[in-house]
Amino acid sequence: MEAVVSLLSILQGKRLFVGLEDRVLWNASKNEIFFVKSLYNTLDSSGSVPFPWRIIWSPCVPTKVGFFAWEASWGKVLTQDQLKRRGWILANRCFLCCDEEETINHILIHCPKARVLWNLVFSLFGVNWVLPLTVRDTLLGWSASFVDKKRGKTWRAAPLSLFWTVWKERNRIVFDNEALSIQRLKNSFVCNIFSWSKSCLDGEPCSLINFVDWLGSS
C-alpha cells in the first residue's frame, strides 16, 4: 500500500499528452537524450572517486595506451602482485630493478629504472617535480599550467608515453628473455612521444632533434 501511495505522489501534478507514445527521457542532458559523457559528468559531480580522464583519453595518445593507463590507474594491470592475489605461486620481484616487489605503482613510478625516464622528462621540459605515491595521483596532479598551450599537449602525453615504454620494456624481459637496456628505454620513450605528438602540433618540429630542443624552450 505504501508503494502505491508513493507512486501516486510522484505522479501527482504530472501532465499527460494524449496521442503521444511513451518514451524514456534522460534528465542529465539538455536535450533529454542519453550520452555516456552526461552519465560520467553526473557520477563525477556526485562525489565519486576523482579520475584523471582528461589526460588518459587524450587525442595525442593511441587508444590502446589510454586503456593501459586506465587499467594502471585502477590498479588492474596484471603485475606479479595481482597474479599472486589470483592464486599464482611465484616469487614477486620487479623485473626491472630486481629489488622490490612488482606492483603497478612501483614499476611505473618508483622503480629506479623508471625514475631514469622521469628524470629525462623533467630534464627535457626544464622543470622540477615531486612524484606522488600512485599512478592515479600522478596523473591527477599532472598540471600543464607552466607551459604554453602547444607544449602542454606533449607534457600531458608524457606520463602515458613513459608508462607504455616501461611496460613494453618489462614485457620484453619477461616474455622475450631480453636484458634490460636503459638506452633502449630512453630511445623508445622519446620516439614514442615525438610520434604521438606530431598529430597535435600542426607543423611544429619536424625532426626528432628539433622536437627535443623545442620541448625545452620557454
CA pair distance 36, 44, nearest whole angstrom: 12
- Cell reading at 102: 612488482
Instruction: Show Cβ contacts of residue 122 under 8 Å, excluding neighbours closer than 6 positions.
Output: 128, 129
Given pLDDT bands bounded at 50, 70 and 90, which one contains residue 28? confident
Task: State the chain's mean pLDDT as an integer.
Answer: 85
58: left (phi over 0), alpha (psi -120 to 50) or beta: beta
**Better-predicted residue by pLDDT, 11 or 87:** 87
DSSP 140-206: HT---TTS-HHHHHHHHHHHHHHHHHHHHHHHHHHHS-PPP-HHHHHHHHHHHHHHHHHHHHSS---
Is it the case that residue 27 has pLDDT exceeding 80?
no
Share of the chain above pLDDT 70, in %: 86
**pLDDT-based confidence at 43, cuts 50/70/90?**
low
Per residue in 51-71, pLDDT tens?
Answer: 888 899 888 899 999 999 999
Q: Which amino acid is at 186?
A: K
User: pLDDT per residue over 104-116, tens digit each?
Assistant: 999 999 999 999 9
Model confidence pTM above 0.75: yes
Q: What pLDDT, on the 0 to 100 scale, is given for residue 44?
A: 62
DSSP at 84: H
pLDDT of residue 152: 85
**Neighbouring C-beta atoms of residue 65, cutoff 10 Å:** 20
- What end-to-end distance do the CA atoms of the chain give, in Å? 70
Range of lowest pLDDT (12-26, 51-65, 107-121, 128-142):
12-26
181-216 pLDDT, tens digit per residue, is: 999 999 999 999 988 888 777 666 678 888 888 887
